[in-house]
């Protein structure tokens, strides 16, 4: 590349970065000003503007000052007593080995520590609470929690949770947990192999049930996808919630915010830092580092909001605060091999969807081999796993809507508008709505024709005001969804190729120059000291019974509770406190917005120029190129292959083609209609090929839908070629007649287009049979 071209590219990059940084800065300032103004105005209560503070000051009296001072002193004492209780629970749980924070009782089914290749994982069976019964013949649900620094149990953290809604729907529920310390030498492929054993065990316990549904939360999502890819014969529908699959993706735009987590690898120089931390830990990586990264994302909540909320509501908030801290304050360990596998292959390498990641058998994971329906649940308010990271892998591996259909895959997307990352798993509101509806439609989703769907949930209320949810599916084209989520056509992902290159260089440099020294100077004693004095652990155990200077605190707190005198809510000093708290929170949010904007501009300033200079014009720089759209859809190989076989097939293909020809086009698909289809399939099972597995049926239906979409007239005219035997024609005609006469079909009101197509199908099938073709005779399917 000549200097003039490089200079022009650098100038263009600099202009884009400056534009986005300027807009982010203005957005942060405007948001900060709005919050401060609102706080000074009393958050919309009472007087506003310049009159708010004088009016409040006029109401100050010695009595309300004394009342507030007494209340503040009591709240302060009770606040520290709550932190003291948190510290004691932390010390006690750590000594006991950090058990799962499940709300439900359970029994251990399998312990991975006893396997031939031991891993620190176990399979639990959840016992239903009193008054709840499960049907052993219903589809079992196996939940995999994330191993991202915290302990397991967040999927069953409370009664209104993924576990709770599945149990109340009558499903047997199994939970995959892990212990605090990894087994020596265990790797992520070992974990995947253990989870294969788990799912086979669940199948053996429920031989008369459909295949288990696998629910993966966050990093448990890609674990579920790896499990489904490596063991497709045993896994049913896969539900991944807030799971990062395309790690380089995000929401880079000219709006007010972005997803800063994806820049961390580049800013820190790649994967070497996790190796360094593991070496300091004597071969083990401390999960507290990952938790600290999460806290780094939201300093307002980390350092102020959650503590002030506890302080302001000290009479009611401690139980909820302590319940969450039991999970948030439990830090688990990984082997060096595990964290290096994750950072190299996923966080920085982004290799899962490319097939470069190897499974337990040494074979690369090909996500296209998944044969079960996939449900992707993400939130627009998630700044850790934005929807782009949850969905973009679909466009990367399939490339087109037609390929999804031809492969017989069903992919359903569900998005929440504003809940944060943790809310996807812990919010009772989300559990009652989204997770409950996901569980309720698993069987119906398996009957969807191949394609990409959006799951839409609408809320209504009955006469008593109880929410009632209706679910419907709307089919989308992959190309449209990818364009909507990626305004800049994923140009912002190219600099991450430079991050990968620099990361590999830094990793090798560390291993060559520094790692031998670090490993030689580390031992279990130094590693234990580093873990114990990690800031997140220190802030807990230092405010506990281990600190002798706090021996007086519990007794003083008990006396305070016995003589508690809470201040009135309209006390002006309390309003001043709330006003000040809001300003502190707004200031920390402003700091975060400016920090993230600066991080983003720094990242692109370094790596966009580096990509432009060294990778943009090299073939290696194109190794991550996603599928490019074909000019004419008919030229796609899957379409051409389907159309070439338009006259080949048998009874199965004929039914699938008829269903595709008679399907309603462009309409949402309510769950009630899917349920009706299931009822009809049972009622007329004698006319249907019952021996065909669901995934093969979806593949056949997908191929026939391509034929029906691109050549509808020829698709009808060639139906007799698929039904060379008169008995097969009569069988299909009888099925069509019975369906048309069925009251359930009539109540759905077939459209004029459907009725006209049906008459054409009946007409061509009523004619004399065409001469049988060799390919036809071999595939009657009857």
pLDDT in tens, 76-135: 999 999 999 999 999 999 999 889 999 999 999 999 999 999 999 999 999 999 999 999
Going from the C-alpha of 628 to that of each of 479, 624, 631, the distances in angstroms are 10, 12, 9
Query: Phi, psi at residue 177, to the nearest 5°?
Result: -120, 170
Residue 165 C-alpha from the chain's centroid = 18
d(CA 266, CA 770): 65
Can you tell me the distance from the alpha carbon of 684 to that of 675, in angstroms, rounded to the nearest whole number? 14
Residue that the structure tokens 């249907």 belong to: 688
Q: Which residue ranges in the chain fall short of pLDDT 70?
A: 1, 43-58, 251-258, 618-631, 768-782
Q: Are strands 121-126 and 374-379 parallel, antiparallel or unpaired?
A: unpaired
Residue located via tokens 């009657």: 780
Extents of the domains making up the chain: 3-53+591-617, 63-96+288-330+533-567, 106-287+331-506, 633-777
Distances (CA, A) of 425 to 296, 438, 528: 20, 13, 31
First-residue to last-residue Cα distance in the chain: 64
455 phi/psi in degrees, rounded to 5:
-95, 125
Tokens encoding 481: 């969804």
Q: Distance between CA atoms of 293 and 298, rounded to whole angstroms?
A: 9
Contacts of 352 (CB under 8 A, 6+ apart): 222, 225, 226, 245, 345, 346, 365, 367, 393
CB atoms within 10 A of CB 613: 14
Q: Give the CA dihedral 279, 281, 285, 287, nearest 10 degrees.
A: -150
The answer to whether 176 and 198 are in contact (CB under 8 A) is: yes
What is the DSSP-derived secondary structure letter of residue 103?
S
Collect all residues with Cβ–Cβ distance below 8 Å to 130 and sequence separation of at least 6: none
What is the radius of gyration, based on Cα positions, of the chain?
30
User: How many beta carbons lie within 10 A of that of residue 689, not counting itself?
Assistant: 17
The pLDDT of residue 51: 54
* The token pair that represents 689 in the structure block: 């090929």
Mean pLDDT of the chain, nearest integer? 88
Element housing 467 (H / E): strand 467-476
Comparing CA positions, the residue from 149, 145, 152 lying closest to residue 290 is: 149
The structural architecture, per CATH, of the domain 106-287+331-506 is 3-Layer(aba) Sandwich (3.40)
How many Å apart are CA 174 and CA 163, to the nearest integer? 9
pLDDT tens readout for residues 252-301: 554 445 678 889 889 999 999 999 999 999 999 999 999 999 999 899 99
**Contact indicator for 418, 332 with CB cutoff of 8 Å:** no
Rounded distance between C-alpha atoms, residue 210 and residue 214, angstroms:
12
Alpha-carbon distance of 778 to 722, in angstroms, equals 10
Instruction: Give residue 123's region: left, alpha or beta (phi > 0; psi -120 to 50).
Output: beta
Q: Which two tokens stand for residue 682?
A: 């049972």
Bridge-partner residues for 472, per DSSP? 456, 670
707 vs 659: CA distance, rounded Å: 12
pLDDT score for 623: 47
Main-chain phi, psi angles of 332, to 5 degrees = -110, 165
CA distances from 538 to 318, 362, 529, 533, 550 (A): 20, 42, 11, 5, 15
Q: What is the DSSP string of 420-448?
A: -TTHHHH-HHHIIIIIHHHHHTHHHHHTS
- The CA distances from residue 757 to 229, 668, 717, 752, in Å, are 39, 20, 11, 9
557-584 as b/e: b if 16+ CB within 10 A: beebeeeeeebeeebbbbbebbbebbeb
Count of CB atoms situated within 10 Å of the CB of 2: 7
pLDDT score recorded for residue 134: 94
Comparing CA positions, the residue from 444, 470, 456, 402 lying closest to residue 237 is: 444
Neighbours of 58 (CB within 10 A): 9
Pairing of strands 467-476, 451-461: antiparallel
* Cβ atoms of residues 465 and 423 within 8 Å: no
CA distance 262 to 347: 8
Q: What share of the chain is helix, strand, coil (3-state, %, to 5)?
A: 60, 10, 30
């Amino acid at each position: 590349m000549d200097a003039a071209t490089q200079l022009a590219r650098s100038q263009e990059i600099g202009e884009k970065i400056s534009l986005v940084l300027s807009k982010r800065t203005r957005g942060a300032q405007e948001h900060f000003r709005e919050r401060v103004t609102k706080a000074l105005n009393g958050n919309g209560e009472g007087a506003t503007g310049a009159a708010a503070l004088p009016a409040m000051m006029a109401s100050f009296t010695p009595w309300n000052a004394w009342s507030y001072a007494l209340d503040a002193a009591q709240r302060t004492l009770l606040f520290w007593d709550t932190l003291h209780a948190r510290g004691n629970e932390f010390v006690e749980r750590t000594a006991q080995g950090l058990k799962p924070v499940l709300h439900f009782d359970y029994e251990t089914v399998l312990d991975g520590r006893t396997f031939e290749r031991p891993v620190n994982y176990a399979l639990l069976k959840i016992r239903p609470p009193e008054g709840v019964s499960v049907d052993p013949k219903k589809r079992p649900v196996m939940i995999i929690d994330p191993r991202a620094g915290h302990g397991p149990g967040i999927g069953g953290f409370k009664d209104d949770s993924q576990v709770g809604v599945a149990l109340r729907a009558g499903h047997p529920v199994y939970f995959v947990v892990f212990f605090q310390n990894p087994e020596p030498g265990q790797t992520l492929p070992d974990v995947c192999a253990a989870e294969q054993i788990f799912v086979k065990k669940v199948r053996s316990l429920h031989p008369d049930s459909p295949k288990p549904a696998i629910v993966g939360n966050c990093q448990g999502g890609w674990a579920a996808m790896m499990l489904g890819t490596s063991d497709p014969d045993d896994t049913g529908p896969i539900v991944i919630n807030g799971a990062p699959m395309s790690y380089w993706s995000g929401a880079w735009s000219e709006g007010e915010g972005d997803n800063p987590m994806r820049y961390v690898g580049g800013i820190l120089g790649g994967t070497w830092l996790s190796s360094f931390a593991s070496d300091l830990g004597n071969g083990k990586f401390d999960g507290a580092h990952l938790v600290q990264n999460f806290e780094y994302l939201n300093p307002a909540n980390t350092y102020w909001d959650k503590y002030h909320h506890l302080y302001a509501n000290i009479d009611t908030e401690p139980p909820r605060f302590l319940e969450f801290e039991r999970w948030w304050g439990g830090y688990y360990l990984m082997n060096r091999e595990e964290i290096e596998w994750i950072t190299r292959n996923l966080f920085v390498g982004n290799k899962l969807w490319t097939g470069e990641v190897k499974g337990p058998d040494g074979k690369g994971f090909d996500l296209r081999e998944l044969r079960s329906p996939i449900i992707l649940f993400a939130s627009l308010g998630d700044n850790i796993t934005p929807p782009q990271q949850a969905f973009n892998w679909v466009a990367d591996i399939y490339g087109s809507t037609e390929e999804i259909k031809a492969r017989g895959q069903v992919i359903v997307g569900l998005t929440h508008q504003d809940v944060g990352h943790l809310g996807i798993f812990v919010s009772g509101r989300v559990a009652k709505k989204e997770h409950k509806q996901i569980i309720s439609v698993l069987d119906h989703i398996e009957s969807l024709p191949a394609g990409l769907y959006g799951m839409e949930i609408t809320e209504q209320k009955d006469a008593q005001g109880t929410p009632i949810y209706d679910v419907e599916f709307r089919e989308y084209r992959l190309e449209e969804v990818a364009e909507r989520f990626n305004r800049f056509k994923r140009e912002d992902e190219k600099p991450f190729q430079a991050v990968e290159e620099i990361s590999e260089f830094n990793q090798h440099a560390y291993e060559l120059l520094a790692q031998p020294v670090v490993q030689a100077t580390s031992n279990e004693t130094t590693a234990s000291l580093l873990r114990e004095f990690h800031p997140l652990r220190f802030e807990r155990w230092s405010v506990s019974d281990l600190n002798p200077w706090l021996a007086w605190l519990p007794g003083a707190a008990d006396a305070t509770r016995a003589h508690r005198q809470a201040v009135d809510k309209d006390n002006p000093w309390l309003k001043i406190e709330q006003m000040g708290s809001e300003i502190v929170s707004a200031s920390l949010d402003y700091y975060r917005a400016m920090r993230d904007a600066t991080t983003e501009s720094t990242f692109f300033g370094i790596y966009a120029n580096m990509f432009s200079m060294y990778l943009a014009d090299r073939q290696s720089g194109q190794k991550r190129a996603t599928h490019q759209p074909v000019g004419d859809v008919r030229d796609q190989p899957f379409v051409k292959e389907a159309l070439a076989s338009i006259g080949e097939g048998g009874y199965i293909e004929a039914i699938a083609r008829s269903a595709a020809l008679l399907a309603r086009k462009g309409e949402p698909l309510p769950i009630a209609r899917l349920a009706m289809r299931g009822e009809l399939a049972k009622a007329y099972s004698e006319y249907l090929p019952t021996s065909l597995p669901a995934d093969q049926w979806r593949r056949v239906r997908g191929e026939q839908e391509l034929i029906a979409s691109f050549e509808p007239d020829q698709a009808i005219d060639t139906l007799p070629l698929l039904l060379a035997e008169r008995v097969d024609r009569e069988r299909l005609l009888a099925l069509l007649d019975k369906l048309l006469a069925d009251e359930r079909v009539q109540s759905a009101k077939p459209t004029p287009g459907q009725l006209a197509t049906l008459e054409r199908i009946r007409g061509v099938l009523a004619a004399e049979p065409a001469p049988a073709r060799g390919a036809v005779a071999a595939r009657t399917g009857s």
